Amino acid sequence: MVQKKRVGVVFGGRSCEHEVSLASAASVVQNLDAQKYDIIPIAITQEGTWRWGVTPSQLLNASDPAIAAEITAAPAVTLVIDGHSKRFISTNDASPLPGNGELDVLFPVLHGPYGEDGTIQGLFEMANIPYVGCTVLGSATGMDKEIMKELFQSAGLPVVKTLNYKLYEWERAPERILDLIEQQLTYPCFVKPANLGSSVGVGKALNREQLTKVINEAFTYDRKVSVEQGIDCREFSCAVLGNDELSASVVGEILTGGEFSDYEDKYVNHTIRFVIPAQIPEDTAQMLRGMALRAYQAFDLKGLTRVDFFQDKADGQFYINEVNTLPGFTDQSLYPKLWAASGLAYPQLLDQLIELAFQQYEVRQKLRSYR
């Protein structure tokens, strides 16, 4: 009998996208093949404590005193980093963890800062353990909307005009920045924290008063904001899978419930709908798949990403919006749906992601800098 791989699913985290991570992780745990894997949930609380064996459901219901007690009683753990060990140890219990805390691969299901931005990927590389998804560089650049668009433009990919400002600039001269925005963009415009996802902190402005309000709101989430020209558009998406040999899924269209895809539409009201495959000509779909692959290569991404596009309804022009290096993974999320429509079911998608993690790990082990 082939020995099962021990897969640590890491989820939760300190980000404001904490609850989105719990929903994604619950689906990953449910869809991993228990005949192939020993699945070990590793929860990161909102305070930053790592808990061995705590499930997404427990963390989601942590406000219940009984469940909170179960979480507190679970072993608090940390990764051993000595260049050889690939295991966790308990920090609050002298007894060893099941399987001595050893894992074959880690599957991070963390959205936003401290999980999608290269920070935890750096920890995993220091611990010398295989992990699913993009590396440090791809994660970090794919998270920062300013750097992201600069890389898009360097790769010859069209982007909607965007202005970027730092918090200290706004605090020193808000009126000057408002003037600059109004000189270079027209209303409506969108304001986004530069380093967040799930539409958290995103706001639409139709005038100067609203612009001031949404900029102030965005700065509560990040020290840098992006102000983007609003366009009346259709939204499309394509999923990419692979390390060096890449595959692109069918293209899907995103139909929003309101004026734009905000957090409530995605995760509270569930008013967003997907048309998969998108009702567009095949040559257009092929063009978007090609753009998605170019973006993937420009960021040197590994494992997976979802690439999103706008199409201006006025002139038909396509723009690349973003790469999402750790997209949502619920059963209703767009990334697994795109692959399901392309003939790759959710459990098999997870198999491939884990195999890609091992492949990428083997590449690193051959490098002299990793010895």
The pLDDT tens digits for 320-365 are 999 999 999 998 899 999 999 999 999 999 999 999 999 999 999 8
Pair 298, 352: CB distance under 8 Å: no
Write the CA distances from 190 to 82, 203, 220, integer angstroms.
46, 6, 16
CA 8 to CA 325: how far, in whole Å? 19
Backbone angles phi, psi at 72, to 5 degrees: -65, -35
Q: What residue ranges define each of the domains in the chain, with the CATH number in brackets? A: 5-131 (3.40.50.20), 142-158+232-363 (3.30.470.20), 162-229 (3.30.1490.20)
Instruction: Tell me how crowded residue 106 is: count the other CB atoms within 10 A of its CB.
Output: 26
* Cis upstream peptide for 277 (omega within 30°): yes
Q: Which residue has the higher pLDDT, 306 or 370?
A: 306
pLDDT bracket for residue 264 (50, 70, 90)? low
Mean pLDDT of 90-103: 85
CA 87 to CA 42: how far, in whole Å? 12
**HSE, side-chain direction, 13 A CA sphere, residue 370:** 16
- pLDDT number for residue 173: 97
Strands 203-205 and 189-193: antiparallel
User: Which segments are annotated as binding site for ATP?
Assistant: 145, 190-192, 198-199, 228-235, 321-322
pLDDT bracket for residue 30 (50, 70, 90)? very high
Backbone angles phi, psi at 264, to 5 degrees: -65, -40
pTM comes to 0.92
Q: Which residues pair with 189 in a beta bridge?
A: 205, 229
Instruction: Tell me how crowded residue 98 is: count the other CB atoms within 10 A of its CB.
Output: 12
Active site residues: 17, 198, 333
- pLDDT number for residue 259: 59
| Residue 239 confidence (pLDDT) above 70 | yes
CA 72 to CA 267: how far, in whole Å? 28
